[in-house]
Structure 1
Amino acid sequence: MKQQQSAVSGPSAISVAELELGAAGPRLRPAPGADEPVPGDVYALVRVDGRPAATVLGRYEEGEDPAEVLAALAEKRLMESAALHADAERLAAQEAPLSIPGPTPAPASPPTLTSPPRVSAIVATRERAGSLARALDSLLAQDHPDHEVIVVDNAPRTSATHDLVTGRYADRVRYVREDRPGLAAAHNAGVAAAEGEILAFTDDDVIADPRWLSALAAPFASDPGLGCVTGLILPARLTTPAQILLESHGGFAKGFAPRLYDPARPPADEPLFPFTAGSFGSGANMAFRASALRRAGGFDPATGTGTPAKGGDDLYAFVAVLAAGHRLRYTPDALVWHHHRETWQDLRNQAYGYGAGLTAYLTATLVRRPALLPALLARVPRGLAHARTMTAERGGSQGGDGIPGEHGTHHHPWPAALSRLERRGMLYGPVGYLKARLSQGASR
């Protein structure tokens, strides 16, 4: 057995699985929605006592026990991760010199034994009934004792979503229609309809772990100053080169170390805090305290997929809640499996959209929260350097430690064409945001 050793231009399909480590020995099973692992490369989530702890990428041959092969890699990975997490915690504990303006956040409280808060799980969708059904099945299987599921049908062209929700999921899922196009507008419609104290958002192309809502909601019960919680996003399938390339450059994963982002104590290892909001989490796995999100004004409807801005709705909401003085926590225990887009054109669209969404959300933040302008200007030099690094052509790792989903490993080269698309998207983002605002103003 050996770990994958070098970058390749056309990577073969990789099996996706879960590896449970316990007293009874390692157990391997396919990830939700994935096929049974076959001899070859396997990407596995490592669970320890049921909790997500790491990922490994290994290879097993015919006749080998894949669980034993991957368990050996997992033990090494867990030892390395423990050291990295200790370093991250030490850095996060240091106070940075610059803070952002805003109300004084509520002090942290020690954990208390309380009933889990009621949660509203909100899924915005548009003409994707097949994948939506898969997502809804996972949301209805959650172990959280008090939650509702809301589907927001955004600018529908057919009745497919309505028929699915009111037919197959009648009396179990609430249907909301929002005719104004755009992910942020759909999310705001879900916020308006929701009854929960906690508002959890995910996409129609995920499968949620059965403990997802419980893991997202638990931090809110122990910290009244918490405004947002984000969680871990892993790939459900790695069957095409586009999916593997995206995941090998980080995908949507934010690692296995819990983090607390506090506007009163900006982390020393995040010098652009809070404007590098992409490091906090992603819209496919986020939750807000309903009162905090509503006081912050919700999502900016001129951002998000489905608008000229292309994206940035989740990033805007993260910064809006932090600017209001609330804390944000990342917890890897809250897990969803995401079905990455499969084609090269999908990846091109994503690269451009990410670039556009980044600068669109920054524009939205300054337009709607001008008090943040001095803090942003103080970070401009470092921000420009960060943007250049983020969109640079990235080579493939030549060593054996490239794990899809771990930032910085870059197991497969990131093409220069995609870097150029990201930069073009960044230049377009402010224009797209202003176009969206103008078009919405005209429609009103």
Structure 2
Amino acid sequence: MPVRVSVVVCVYTEDRWEDILAAVSSVRAQSRPALETLLVVDHNPVLLDRLTREYQEVTGVRVLPNAGPRGLSAGRNTGITASRGEVVAFLDDDAVAESDWLSRFAAAYDDPRVMAVGGRTEPVWASGRRPDWFPDEFDWVVGCSYRGLPPGLVRVRNILGGNASFRRTAFDLAGGFATGIGRDGDRRPLGGEETELCIRLSRASPDAILLVDDRAVIHHKVPEARERFAYFRTRTYAEGLSKALVARSVGAGKGLESERRYATRVLPAGVARGLRDQVLARRGGARRAGAIVAGVLTAAGGYVVGSVRARRDGTTFSVVRIDAPAQANREAAA
């Protein structure tokens, strides 16, 4: 029997109203229909009321408030708990999915060992094209897939949260997303919560398979403010802080396993490519090489600061257990 897929879209601001509507429309236009779409509103009563009115007569779309503390992790946990599908997929609120997105995800779950499947996220630049200084290797800064990820359908350590899916039983095994990691309403753009969850899942179930299928494509909007070097610098620093938290939670060995290859192979090749482009008089080559070096240094600085703070403050994380409410929902939907 084919798996049923619930889609969770976490939202928090009316500034993205049109983006939210577009995201939901892309889910409703899937060639393989979703069981349901859950819009989880993060502590914004005005937006909650507006979305409730917008979708009150739309079958298959539910609007609900974040039942936990402010932040993306708690919002996702709220959606997981309320979901009824055997698979829970996550879509960013400023992204649209291609029509075969869910069918690509669902096909991978024919193998019962597969516990998570991610996809490819393409940037949609507000200015109309990629800034010539912005290296492909750092597209994760704007929430997109980046140069260095393996192509095709491949096994990975972790998937990226804005274009992701998990088998429902994965959360029974490992719990939900940890609060205390990732975005929580603070202006600093933290991340890493999906990495921590994936590592925790692999420890709870060593036979679990986590995949990325680059045919499961979404298109992610990049506003002009995020095309600027100031945001690039802020986001790379915040990533260093996040990696320090992840390493504290799951250990530096697993927490930085993929990052070591990225830093020692992918990024040096990117610097060389940028310098070569400069020699060949291709626009932006030296700036791309410089941005890679700057990104590495600011991320490393964030990691050092984050590690010191975590040890000093005794940082802890709360992992939500997700069991009874979701089980009741699944039984009701059966």
Instruction: Name the aligned partner's letter for residue 93 of structure 2.
Output: D
Inter-CA distance 147–432: structure 2 relative to 1 (3 Å threshold)? farther
**What per-residue deviation string (whole Å, max 9, x for no partner) do you get for residues 306-338 of structure 1?**
267921111112212222221111111211011
**Partner SS state of residue 159, structure 1:** helix
**Partner SS state of residue 298, structure 2:** helix
User: What residue is the counterpart of 1:188 in the other structure?
Assistant: 77
User: What residue is the counterpart of 2:303 in the other structure?
Assistant: 426
Instruction: Name the aligned partner's letter for residue 69 of structure 2.
Output: R
**Partner SS state of residue 222, structure 2:** coil
**Residue in structure 1 matching 2:164, options 278, 286, 293:** 286
Instruction: Indicate conservation of the 8 Å contact 1:149/1:174, yes or no.
Output: yes
Distance 1:283 1:226 in 2: 17
Percent of aligned positions with the same letter in both sequences?
A: 22
Inter-CA distance 385–167: structure 2 relative to 1 (3 Å threshold)? closer
Distance 1:233 1:293 in 2: 24
**Residue in structure 1 matching 2:222, options 335, 340, 359:** 340
TM superposition score normalised by structure 1 = 0.57
Q: Map 1:388-427 to 2 at 5 A.
A: 394=271, 396=274, 398-399=276-277, 412-415=288-291, 416-427=293-304
Shift of 1:412: 2.9
Inter-CA distance 142–431: structure 2 relative to 1 (3 Å threshold)? farther
Q: Map 1:3-42 to 2 at 5 A.
A: none
User: What residue is the counterpart of 1:91 in the other structure?
Assistant: none
**What per-residue deviation string (whole Å, max 9, x for no partner) do you get for residues 84-135 of structure 1?**
xxxxxxxxxxxxxxxxxxxxxxxxxxxxxxx421111111121132321221
Instruction: Name the aligned partner's letter for residue 39 of structure 2.
Output: V
User: What residue is the counterpart of 2:23 in the other structure?
Assistant: 135
Q: Map 1:166-181 to 2 at 5 A.
A: 166-168=53-55, 170-172=57-59, 173-178=61-66, 180-181=69-70
Matched, 1:164 2:51: yes
* Structure having the higher Rg: 1
Distance 1:312 1:430 in 2: 14
**Partner SS state of residue 167, structure 1:** helix
Inter-CA distance 149–245: structure 2 relative to 1 (3 Å threshold)? farther
**Partner SS state of residue 70, structure 2:** coil
**Partner SS state of residue 160, structure 2:** coil
Distance 1:346 1:295 in 2: 37
Distance 1:161 1:346 in 2: 29
Instruction: Indicate conservation of the 8 Å contact 1:249/1:411, yes or no.
Output: no
Instruction: Indicate conservation of the 8 Å contact 1:116/1:217, yes or no.
Output: yes
Distance 1:428 1:193 in 2: 37
Shift of 1:250: 4.8
Distance 1:193 1:411 in 2: 46
User: What residue is the counterpart of 1:322 in the other structure?
Assistant: 202
Inter-CA distance 243–299: structure 2 relative to 1 (3 Å threshold)? farther
Q: Which has the larger helix fraction? A: 2
Inter-CA distance 250–174: structure 2 relative to 1 (3 Å threshold)? same
Inter-CA distance 143–338: structure 2 relative to 1 (3 Å threshold)? same
Instruction: Indicate conservation of the 8 Å contact 2:27/2:34, yes or no.
Output: no
**What per-residue deviation string (whole Å, max 9, x for no partner) do you get for residues 39-81 of structure 1?**
xxxxxxxxxxxxxxxxxxxxxxxxxxxxxxxxxxxxxxxxxxx
Instruction: Indicate conservation of the 8 Å contact 1:119/1:147, yes or no.
Output: yes
User: What residue is the counterpart of 1:83 in the other structure?
Assistant: none
Shift of 1:384: 6.5
Inter-CA distance 228–337: structure 2 relative to 1 (3 Å threshold)? same
Q: Map 1:62-101 to 2 at 5 A.
A: none
Instruction: Indicate conservation of the 8 Å contact 2:6/2:89, yes or no.
Output: yes
**What per-residue deviation string (whole Å, max 9, x for no partner) do you get for residues 108-166 of structure 1?**
xxxxxxx421111111121132321221111111121342101111122x512431343
TM superposition score normalised by structure 2 = 0.74
Instruction: Name the aligned partner's letter for residue 11 of structure 2.
Output: T
Instruction: Indicate conservation of the 8 Å contact 1:227/1:322, yes or no.
Output: no
Distance 2:87 2:298 in 1: 36
What is the number of equivalent residue pairs in this alignment?
292
Distance 1:257 1:432 in 2: 39
Q: Map 1:146-161 to 2 at 5 A.
A: 146-156=34-44, 158-161=45-48
Q: Considering only aligned residues, what root-mean-square deviation do their CA atoms show, in Å?
A: 3.6
Instruction: Indicate conservation of the 8 Å contact 1:303/1:311, yes or no.
Output: yes
Shift of 1:410: 9.6
Distance 2:317 2:310 in 1: 10
Instruction: Indicate conservation of the 8 Å contact 2:10/2:42, yes or no.
Output: yes
Instruction: Indicate conservation of the 8 Å contact 1:302/1:433, yes or no.
Output: no
**Partner SS state of residue 179, structure 2:** coil
